[in-house]
Amino acid sequence: MKNGSYNPFEVAQSQFDNVAELLDLDNGVKSLLREPMREYQFVIPVRMDDGSIKVFKGFRVQHNDALGPAKGGNRFHPLETIDTVRALAMWMTWKCSVVDIPLGGGKGGVICDPHNLSQREQEQICRGWVRQLSKNVGPWSDVPAPDVMVSGQHMLWMLDEFETIHGGHFPGFITGKPVGMGGSLGRTEATGYGVIYVLREALKVLGIDIKKTTASIQGFGNVAQHAIQLYTQLGGKVTAISCWDQEDNTAYTYRKKTGIVLNELKAITDKFGGIDKQRACDLGYEKLPGEAWLEEEVDILIPAALENQINRGNVKKIGSSVKVISEGANGPTTPEADSVLKERNIFVLPDFLANAGGVTCSYFEQVQCNTNYFWEKEEVLDKLDTKMTSAFAAVNEVARRKKVYMRDAAYMIAINRVAEAVQLRGWA
């Protein structure tokens, strides 16, 4: 990190370098895997509703496709950077590998804020993104999915543009589509449920009864909401959540010691996961500063928002009772913070394992689209549970046998699989 600033790609490379040494990787393989194989940066001109032309910056990074087509989300965010996309693409490579699905890593996005754009303007951005990349993405090479502030409707516009350009039907080109239009049942729940599937297995290993645990969560979007749903269904209690407030341009933590009620909060939440603070207070929730979620005296923390949320500046504020962190977000913990978590012996379920439910179910959607045969929701979630449980068991076994940190164990499995594929293909 340069001049003390956070650079997610440098973090991703640092994490990779540490494990590459543990694996004693060949220098050629190491050089290949620490950089993206391809990346695209471009502009998307859009005629706005007021008649003016506005130019948006777009990205797509394909980190590695040795195991299969690149796979990864597109995000719309006003603070998007190429280094964030590079890091997320690299993490997607390891994520697909650690759950053992035949896909590589990619990521993309557009610098924009959907809050300030009409539906028509958002549609034009989606179609413009595909037009710029139509020769470089597809079911055979790179399969996008939704990410931050991107919905199933956005995905369908992208699919329609791709099919218009190529003159056919290619439902396997993109995932996260609405059900009935090639989307998979269970996809909405998949990432949040996956976070809890691996958490459930970790608590078993630690000998902790999930029914006696409490949790604090950062984020209240799709991932967090479904994580809360399954966690409380299994008997746990969420006492605090933190989310961004668009009106104040800051974050708040909403706490209720008796446990939050998911449905009552969903009823006062906008489509971007922002909670109406006044109505929350009327319902008996205590409104605290945004970082207060980290300081709660709970058993479990679930960061399910953005990267760089547990860092050198706040890691020592983590409540003394915290035993497990299940990373629902991508890259929420910096290497400096990781060192502190290791010292405290907190059991960390790393992001690219814990939140791999989303890409796993995206893979299921792709398979269903390509075979034109769709599964019932129960079958999707059963397959997801099996995949996530198996991945956790493999990572935990390596961590126990080699006496390494869970994040390092997950990296060792993921990187080794990709390195073997690279070597077998003769790329290095």
What's residue 246's pLDDT? 75
**CATH number for position 129:** 3.40.50.10860
Q: What is the pLDDT of residues 44-91, one digit of tens each?
A: 999 999 999 999 999 999 999 999 999 999 999 999 999 999 999 999
* CB contact at 8 A, 196 and 231: yes
> Of 339, 354, 369, which residue constitutes the final position of a domain?
354
Q: With 50 as the cut, is the pLDDT of residue 408 above it?
A: yes
Percentage above 70 pLDDT, the chain: 99
**329 in the same domain as 202:** yes
Q: With 90 as the cut, is the pLDDT of residue 11 above it?
A: no
Is 130 inside a domain boundary?
yes
**239 in the same domain as 200:** yes
Is 293 inside a domain boundary?
yes
What's residue 407's pLDDT? 94
H-helix or E-strand spanning residue 321: none
**CATH number for position 279:** 3.40.50.720
Is 385 inside a domain boundary?
no
**Domain range for 143:** 38-183
Catalytic one of 30, 71, 95, 107: 107
**Cβ contacts of 99 within 8 Å, gap of 6 or more:** 353, 356, 359, 360, 387, 388, 391
Longest dimension (CA), the chain: 63
Kindly report the pTM of this predicted structure: 0.90
What's residue 31's pLDDT? 96
What's residue 379's pLDDT? 98
> Of 315, 333, 354, which residue constitutes the final position of a domain?
354
What's residue 380's pLDDT? 98
Total count of domains within the chain: 2
- Sequence-ordered alpha helix ranges (H) in 350-376: 351-354, 357-371
127-147 average pLDDT score: 96
**308 in the same domain as 212:** yes
Q: What is the pLDDT of residues 356-387, one digit of tens each?
A: 999 999 999 999 999 999 999 999 999 999 99
**123 in the same domain as 233:** no
**210 in the same domain as 109:** no
What's residue 3's pLDDT? 44
Q: What is the pLDDT of residues 205-243, one digit of tens each?
A: 999 999 999 999 999 988 999 999 999 999 999 999 999
**206 in the same domain as 157:** no
Question: Could you give the angle at which helices 82-98 and 8-23 cross, rounded to 10 degrees?
Answer: 40
* CB contact at 8 A, 157 and 126: yes
**264 in the same domain as 157:** no
Q: With 50 as the cut, is the pLDDT of residue 158 above it?
A: yes
Which is nearest to 297 in space by CA: 269, 273, 317, 267? 317
Q: With 90 as the cut, is the pLDDT of residue 338 above it?
A: yes
30 belongs to the catalytic site: no
Structure token pair of residue 8: 């997610």
Give the chain's mean pLDDT. 94
Q: With 80 as the cut, is the pLDDT of residue 1 above it?
A: no
Q: With 90 as the cut, is the pLDDT of residue 24 above it?
A: yes
What's residue 288's pLDDT? 94
Residue 115, helix vs strand vs coil? helix
Instruction: Report residue 4's pLDDT band, with 50, 70 and 90 as the boundaries.
Output: low
**163 in the same domain as 241:** no
**137 in the same domain as 116:** yes
Q: What is the pLDDT of residues 161-194, one digit of tens each?
A: 999 999 999 999 999 999 999 999 999 999 999 9
**290 in the same domain as 155:** no
What's residue 270's pLDDT? 83
Q: With 90 as the cut, is the pLDDT of residue 284 above it?
A: yes
Percentage above 90 pLDDT, the chain: 89
**198 in the same domain as 312:** yes
* CB contact at 8 A, 233 and 394: no
> Of 163, 183, 203, which residue constitutes the final position of a domain?
183
**Rounded Cα–Cα distance for residues 138 and 369 (Å):** 13
Is 418 inside a domain boundary?
no
Is 379 inside a domain boundary?
no
Q: With 80 as the cut, is the pLDDT of residue 13 above it?
A: yes
Residue 301, helix vs strand vs coil? strand
